[in-house]
Structure 1
């Protein structure tokens, strides 16, 4: 059986997309995922075998001790020693492990692992296959320097045998940048029956629960969501499932709006438990802001997670999301920057139960098309084509 080694720049405990791909490939290949482990993640195993048959190998990130970092007053030097050097050493550890795996195919998830894949696959006499799986648009992304990132990506992409992007909008953008069209692989949810999922038991005040699940980060419209939920003034819960940098600000805003009895922050939920939370929802939010092309072109795995659980959505008018929501009739579309439209949509979804039930029924039909069991064949075909080449 041929070997596949994947690289991810996370701890591989909640990465739904990579997990789905590893599961899919495991039936045909010996799959290992090389991930990272931060200093505050020592409870996570360095090596872990999964029941589906694939393995995760995590390389520990060695960081500059705080007592040394606190004594460095030059900010530029401090950044180099406390951020860039630990990342560089971690990349070297991942490359070393990648060579040790001696894989037939290397599969780099996103740009921050492409150099690891390129070195392991191409810096050898017997070249190996390299796949670049771009989950994000790295040349237009929040907190990324587009010029520098674009230069790095353009250099590294020449070493790849195939490129994967999330959807057709991003495939067109990639083609304009680099002159060839990559394969689109949509991040659909695995097919399952929500009736077989046990609902989580939470001490919520009201019967109806609206849900947001995902990262608590800038550009997700979350401050606007809290304000709109306050303005809607409805007897319903708002469940915020996830964690992220702006959680303290969101919790502070919740207190300032006096929404503590309605809004619950769960923190990060393990991927295998997420469905239990989704199940209790009356409706869900996917309200990305159009702050860059990465957001503008997003397909959103949350949309398909809601669909699989028959949870109607309130979503912003970004092209890939709008196309599915309007075509399938599974939610309400609002302008991405309109707090008024978001407030009105919350009220309408809450009050019009007949409309909501119709959307819910349509989701039961739509999920038969938008699911990973159908989409995964594209990934298997790509691997088979590479072996023929």
Structure 2
């Protein structure tokens, strides 16, 4: 058992640019107050609260090659740091976490932020999906604790994986903030002051309802769709916008650092949180964008999926429509949300006080410190 006078050493592993990864940053900020922490991610950065290490990989190219390079370089470069607890930030960090566990005699926390055995991005790549599910099931045997982003995901993971304990739910929510309405999106995209701005933020992938969003915008002459995020579906969105005659009303802006996101979000009129149930992971989705819109006091148009619906029934800061809803229905919903924005913002403020990261921090600290003390 570890001496209680020593600070627990934690290594957070992220196969991502942590500057733009809300969940990784929030975990680091939570643990840095109690532990000596090092973050290993794919992008250089600076931080006074913890050590920031970059294992740089090419931004483009085959995913498998980029991942293998990350794993090999991380295991080689991190071996001298020595941690008591490793936080594997997603399924792709499981292998290096298990390798370093053996080397350091450390504990491992696996952040299963999705149902990786049923990903939307792999819905049409059955072989890749099967291999990823096998990889996860094999390596999770050396994991001490699992965390996930929703109760439904926790129940599904307990059913699917050979776990040592029931997964801990850590909601993917932002820290509480009092936002100020801005014009950042209008200024960046040269949008008229009286135009309606619909915002989607997140990965630009199939299954996020982005083509349907373009079709809805085509029915609203003064509306614009702004997309904050990157992904391989961007070309399809641009092509569809041209086909619908609204290329000038659809703006793909790329991703922004997470610490700037609230200002961008607070300049929108309506938030788009449309998840198509193309995989089991998407069916159970409780995306962080839902809570980020609430924190920015932006009314939400969401798909009627169980986890999302339960939040909006408790705090009605938006409306749910069936995933089969057509563009005309969604255009009408956007207009309704904008017309009654003050009512929805009132409920968004209530939701923001309940669904904030300050309420998640105690369980993260307790979980990691218990593993460290019982090492």
**TM-score, length basis structure 1:** 0.86
Instruction: Verify the 8 A CA contact 1:315 1:332 in the aligned structure 2.
Output: yes
State how far apart, in whole Å, the 2-side matches of 1:63 and 1:358 are: 42
Aligned to 2:28: 22
Aligned to 1:54: 50
Q: Report the Cα offset of residue 352 of structure 1.
A: 6.1
* Correspondence list, 1:288-367, <5 A: 288-340=275-327, 343-351=328-336, 355-367=340-352
Which structure has the greater CA radius of gyration?
Answer: 1
Q: Report the Cα offset of residue 63 of structure 1.
A: 10
Which has the higher relative contact order, 1 or 2, with Cα contacts under 8 A spaced 6 or more apart?
2
Where does structure 1 lack aligned partners over 5 or more consecutive residues?
A: 38-44, 65-78
State how far apart, in whole Å, the 2-side matches of 1:281 and 1:60 are: 34
Q: Which of 116, 120, 137 is 2:115 aligned to?
A: 137
SS of equivalent residue, structure 1 residue 49: coil
Q: Report the Cα offset of residue 176 of structure 1.
A: 0.8
Q: Report the Cα offset of residue 83 of structure 1.
A: 6.0
State how far apart, in whole Å, the 2-side matches of 1:292 and 1:63 are: 26
**TM-score, length basis structure 2:** 0.89
SS of equivalent residue, structure 2 residue 42: strand
Instruction: Verify the 8 A CA contact 1:314 1:333 in the aligned structure 2.
Output: yes
Q: Report the Cα offset of residue 333 of structure 1.
A: 0.5
Aligned to 2:90: 110
* Correspondence list, 1:264-279, <5 A: 264-279=251-266
Q: Which stretch shifts more, 245-254 or 315-324? A: 245-254
Per-residue deviation, residues 121-165 of structure 1 (Å, max 9, x unmatched)? 1245xx211111111211001326333222221221111111111
SS of equivalent residue, structure 1 residue 175: helix
Q: Report the Cα offset of residue 265 of structure 1.
A: 2.1
State how far apart, in whole Å, the 2-side matches of 1:222 and 1:329 are: 23
State how far apart, in whole Å, the 1-side matches of 2:329 and 2:226 are: 19
Q: Which of 152, 160, 165 is 2:143 aligned to?
A: 160
* Correspondence list, 1:165-204, <5 A: 165-178=148-161, 180-195=165-180, 199-200=183-184, 201-202=187-188, 203-204=190-191
CA RMSD of aligned residues (A): 2.2
Aligned to 1:2: 8
SS of equivalent residue, structure 1 residue 239: strand
Aligned to 1:13: 19
Q: Report the Cα offset of residue 234 of structure 1.
A: 4.1
* Correspondence list, 1:217-236, <5 A: 217-230=205-218, 232-236=219-223
State how far apart, in whole Å, the 2-side matches of 1:244 and 1:62 are: 15
SS of equivalent residue, structure 1 residue 387: helix
Instruction: Verify the 8 A CA contact 1:32 1:56 in the aligned structure 2.
Output: yes
Instruction: Verify the 8 A CA contact 1:167 1:299 in the aligned structure 2.
Output: yes
Q: Do structure 1's residue 122 and structure 2's residue 102 form an aligned pair?
A: yes
Aligned to 2:269: 282
CA 56–245 in structure 1, closer or farther in 2 if over 3 Å, else same: same
Instruction: Verify the 8 A CA contact 2:71 2:96 in the aligned structure 1.
Output: yes
Q: How many residues align?
A: 357
CA 84–278 in structure 1, closer or farther in 2 if over 3 Å, else same: closer
State how far apart, in whole Å, the 2-side matches of 1:199 and 1:138 are: 37
SS of equivalent residue, structure 2 residue 20: coil
Q: Report the Cα offset of residue 368 of structure 1.
A: 0.9
CA 108–204 in structure 1, closer or farther in 2 if over 3 Å, else same: same
Aligned to 1:67: none
